[in-house]
Amino acid sequence: MALSGLLLFSMLAMAMSATAHPPDRMTIIYNDRLDVLTVSIDHDVKDRTTHYVEKIEVWIGNSQVIERTFNEQPRDNYNERFTLNTVEGDEVRAVATCNIDGSLERKMTIGSGITASGDQADMVDSMLYVHAALQVLGLVLALVAIPGGMHFYSAWKAKRKPTGKRRRHIRIGWAVVGFWGLGSVGGLWIVYMTSGDFLGSPHGWMAFATFVAALFASYSASPAFRKAGYSMRMQTHMPLALLAIVLGIIAILAGMMTAGMI
């Protein structure tokens, strides 16, 4: 009887050991402008209340500065964020420990702006560049559209028929909206990965305001707004277009500051 119990216990222990595992993937991202460390964890489990990451430790050099414990995990893929004061050159290490068996560690050397290390580090770095490129391309196209827009505006003020290519100007405007819209979507993902503070990001609010201003500026110049009359279209489009350009420049500068470029 005792032998049967021991065998049953051994089989259960082996079964638990076979299904238990440390986190599958982990990425750590630090934003030195916000002093926020994000630990992004992938830990695929069947029951998040019995098999979960029970502890995350954060070290600076050889000193443990944070230990956070858990009784379950919210999802298979989730982020935990920590306020962390560092200086450039510090070595930061994060360790995520499974409640049943195993742990996973990631470390990085703090740089300027946003520093990432781990399984999604390359994606984070790539998204930063893609986001910046989309925002800058949108601004460049908006600036390219200015001469055509000023030509139509001057013709309207002088009450003469414009001779420029209106359709091309409108298409450029919608291209600006497209670039800034995609840039905003990428920006949301970056905020999620680097701080999670969607409402507290000045750069994010500027980027969103830029997109909205460009969207309404393009709509006001499009045939869909034709019923308002040409005069109303010009009076609406020009201020919104100029506002979008100004906001776009401010948003890009704010983003460069957040990323540590300036």
Question: Could you read off the pLDDT of 93-123 as tens digits, one per residue?
Answer: 999 999 988 899 999 999 988 899 999 899 9
Instruction: Convert the pLDDT of each residue in 198-253 to its tens digit.
Output: 777 788 888 889 999 998 888 887 776 666 665 677 778 888 889 999 999 999 98
pLDDT of residue 226: 62
DSSP 186: H
pTM of the model: 0.76
DSSP secondary structure of 28-42: EEEETTTTEEEEEEE
Mean per-residue pLDDT, 181-189:
89
Instruction: Give start and end residues of each alpha helix (H) in the chain.
Output: 2-19, 121-157, 166-194, 202-221, 230-258
**Per-residue pLDDT, 227:** 65
Q: Write out the CATH class of domain 21-119.
A: mainly beta
Residues 6+ apart with CB under 8 A from 253: 262
* Mean per-residue pLDDT of the chain: 83
What was the pLDDT predicted at 58?
97
Of 203, 216, 206, nearest to 260 by C-alpha is 203
Domain regions of the chain by residue span: 21-119, 122-258
pLDDT in tens, 60-79: 999 999 999 999 999 999 99
Amino acid at 196: G
Measured CA to CA, the distance from residue 94 to residue 25 in angstroms comes to 13
- The amino acid occupying position 183 is G
Report d(CA 104, CA 76) in Å as an integer.
15
Amino acid letter for position 158: A
